[in-house]
Amino acid sequence: MSTSALSLASTVRLSSGCMMPLLGLGVYQNYHTAGSVVDALAAGYSGIHHLEEIENAALELPSVNQIELHPFCQQKPIVAWCRARNIVVQAYCPLIRGRMDHPTIVALAKKYNRDPAHILLRWSLQHGFSPLPKSEHKERIISNANLYDFELDGDDMAALDALDKGDEGAIQWNPIHVP
């Protein structure tokens, strides 16, 4: 897979030639069952030491690594490791499971006149991640993809970057630490 020109374009091409959406929307895991896409996702959820085992065994690294990723849990070491190897970083829980009431997020939503979800998803996209927002509501699924008509400025990206709490910011069990 070539990731050298990753941008806010909405898809990346996997080594098989299949296209995978950068804005994953979760449902693709269920409905797009082309082998390579499923393989790529199944190889995810990994920490550096898991991936180093694969690398040290001279096996092919996954195309995509899916980890919890949002402003409170930015997982910088594993993100940097993946970036250095052109592994797409897919962000699960990008909406912090709906806990979007932090004053910084609320203030930015007001400033840009957008939903808090849009602020979090733009932050993720502008960092080059592939966010996987989930909703049971059609209107929100559509709305959560409506992201390409505004951009967070540098100061606002920095304000969100400053929310990182490392491991303590994770909202669910973090499999990257499994031995």
Ligand X SMILES: NC(=O)c1ccc[n+]([C@@H]2O[C@H](COP(=O)([O-])OP(=O)(O)OC[C@H]3O[C@@H](n4cnc5c(N)ncnc54)[C@H](OP(=O)(O)O)[C@@H]3O)[C@@H](O)[C@H]2O)c1
63 lies in the binding site for ligand X (CB under 6 A): no
97 lies in the binding site for ligand X (CB under 6 A): yes
- Binding ligand X by CB under 6 A: which of 63, 65, 66, 74? 66
Full 3-state SS string of the chain = CCCCCCCCCCEEECCCCCEEECCCCCHHHHHCCCHHHHHHHHCCCCCHHHHHHHHHCCCCCCCEEEEECECCECCHHHHHHHHHCCCEEEEECCCHHHCCCCHHHHHHHHHHCCCHHHHHHHHHHHCCCEECCCCCCHHHHHHHCCCCCCCCCHHHHHHHHCCCCHHHHCCCCCHHHCC
98 lies in the binding site for ligand X (CB under 6 A): yes
Q: Which stretch binds ligand X (CB under 6 A): 78-86, 102-110, 128-136, 156-164?
A: 128-136
Q: How far is the CB of 147 from ligand X (least distance, A)?
A: 11
- Binding ligand X by CB under 6 A: which of 115, 126, 145, 174? 115
117 lies in the binding site for ligand X (CB under 6 A): yes
45 lies in the binding site for ligand X (CB under 6 A): yes
Residue 61 or 141 with smaller CB distance to ligand X? 141
